[in-house]
Amino acid sequence: MNVKNCHIITLPVFPDGDDGKLTFAEGLRTIPFEIKRVYYIYDLEKPDAIRGKHAHKKLEQAIFCVNGSYTIGLDDGHNKEELFIDKPNKGVYLGTGLWHTMTNFSKDCVLLVMASDYYYESDYIRDYDQFLKFINSK
């Protein structure tokens, strides 16, 4: 991966024959931070929807597509990359100062997000030019 401050997370899978599979996530073990907030995104009815379009100053996140598929765009201010995600045990760790967008959602897509902190609007950078200034000030 060329983009800094992110990586793929692979959660363990325990198959149980016809009884399905079990996958789990644990804060500070399989997820590289303490989990303080969990939310999910679903019922994405517009095929051309674009979610995300922001970065965080301090928040870390792990995003999993527990059903369906989507594409995540990653931008560290210098490098850009897109990843197609379609496995429920494969996720993306998003560190601080990382612009991200989510697109190409399948109709059955469900995204599960684990966050390192509670919701604070002041942590969001929602303007791309402000994001670049933030990155270059580091």
Active-site positions?
A: 54
The DSSP secondary-structure symbol of 3 reads S
Residue 93 to residues 21, 32, 45, 116, Cα–Cα distance (Å):
23, 8, 26, 11
Query: 105 exposed, middle or buried (CB, 10 Å; 0-12, 13-18, 19+)?
Result: buried
Q: Which of 64, 59, 60, 56 has the alpha carbon at shortest distance from 102?
A: 64
